[in-house]
Amino acid sequence: MKIKIIGSGFAGLSSALYLSRNPSNFITVYDKFNCVQSVGAGILIQPSSMEVLRKLNLYDDMLKRGEKIYNLVGINHRDKQVFLTSYNDYATQCFGVGIHRSTLFQLLYDQCKTKVNIKFELEREITSLEDQSLFSDLLIVANGSHSCLREQVPIKQSYRLYPYGCLWTTIEQEYTVPNTLYQYLKYSREMLGMLPSGVDDHGKRIISVFWSLPVTSRNKYTKEEILKEMKFHLRHQKPELIEKLSQANYSFAVYADVYMKKYDHRNIVFIGDAAHGMSPQLGQGANMALLDSYFLSKVLAESDNNVELALPKYTSIRSHHIKFYAQASKLLTPLYQSDLQLYGRFRDLLFSIAKYMQFSRNISSQILCGKKTSWIRNKEIKY
């Protein structure tokens, strides 16, 4: 089967790897850039997608380069712990893994290069789905939430930029508390995230730093003003941390909410953020992309590469899981990123109470692990 994949992110590369297991598949990955690379800071790999990486024989390598995360802690500007979400509430010895985006990307890409039935065509920006679908048995669109290709298919859909983005950077840091993702909060207007992200190519421990910022204000604040606010939240940390943050270079990321009523049209399928981009607040983007690639390959294998049967089944299998996390993202994001101070006050009050209730702790950890599929029923994804 002739397969074309548009986009070489996590969704595209992992799909290529899974589909390459069938020796009758010939896969071409297209990217508009002149080199295959991933731009960004750290990501949090959840238990939901660890099974996917196990099946790709990348789990052990991920653990070697990443850092296990056992807890997520939120602290407000009054030094009060707003929330504590522990993976242990989901299952004993459960954890997430903080890893730099480029590290996981390189693991996937290096394995792709060993496959004789995967090839890359770079500096090829695909602008017409119809042209590509005519000359392929399966066309996979995996070029991110800002893809301009969605509008070429007759599927009910929406695309909306989030009003808040974030400044991000990565620094070497040995002093911060290990195995914990910290979020420092001031109402819903300010949020500073610090995610341990494993080790770099030189074996140095790194952390990823995120500073929430309205998209319309990205050019209104100077670096010095933002560092002043960071320093307030990190006033109990060692001075070396502030010094490294002051020397770091920052980039700005913009996110979008993407909705598609279904993910398939004829021999075309949308996966990853191109199909269901959402706020990074729940830390599920990379995990959803990896899960998409696994389930797509699974339905194709079960249907003997019958695309006409497999793609509608793929939409059916993924819809409930994706819908749940899209709804959860829309519900929770304003509590962390909003101009309305009331949202932040409500979050602090609600979560400060909920963290002492085992039922709410269990639900929170299940959502964090990326496996929940329903608000009402206690159902999880099945591999």
Q: Report the CATH number that the domain containing residue 10 is assigned in CATH.
A: 3.50.50.60
| 83: in domain | yes
**118 close to 8: Cβ distance less than 8 angstroms:** no
For the record, the structure tokens of 114 come out as 């060993």
Could you tell me if residue 219 is inside a domain?
yes
Predicted TM-score (pTM) of this structure? 0.95
Question: Which pLDDT does position 42 carry in this prediction?
Answer: 94
Asked whether residue 378 is assigned to any structural domain, the reply reads no
pLDDT band at 281 (very low <50, low <70, confident <90, very high): confident
DSSP string, 97-114: EEEEHHHHHHHHHHHHTT
pLDDT at 39: 79
Quote the pLDDT of residue 33: 87
Assigned domain for 280 exists = yes
Mean pLDDT of 284-297: 97
CA angle 250, 255, 259 (to 5 degrees): 165
379 found inside a domain: no
**Helix, strand, coil content of the chain in percent (nearest 5):** 40, 25, 35
Structural domain contains residue 383? no
- Print the domain residue range for 226: 2-369
- Locus of tokens 């790897």: 17
The domain total for the chain is 1
In a domain, 381, yes or no: no
Residue 218 pLDDT level (bands cut at 50, 70, 90): confident
DSSP label at residue 177 = P
pLDDT digits (tens, 9 = 90+) for 158-214: 999 999 999 999 999 887 889 999 999 999 999 999 999 999 989 999 999 999 999
Residue 6 domain-assigned (yes or no)? yes
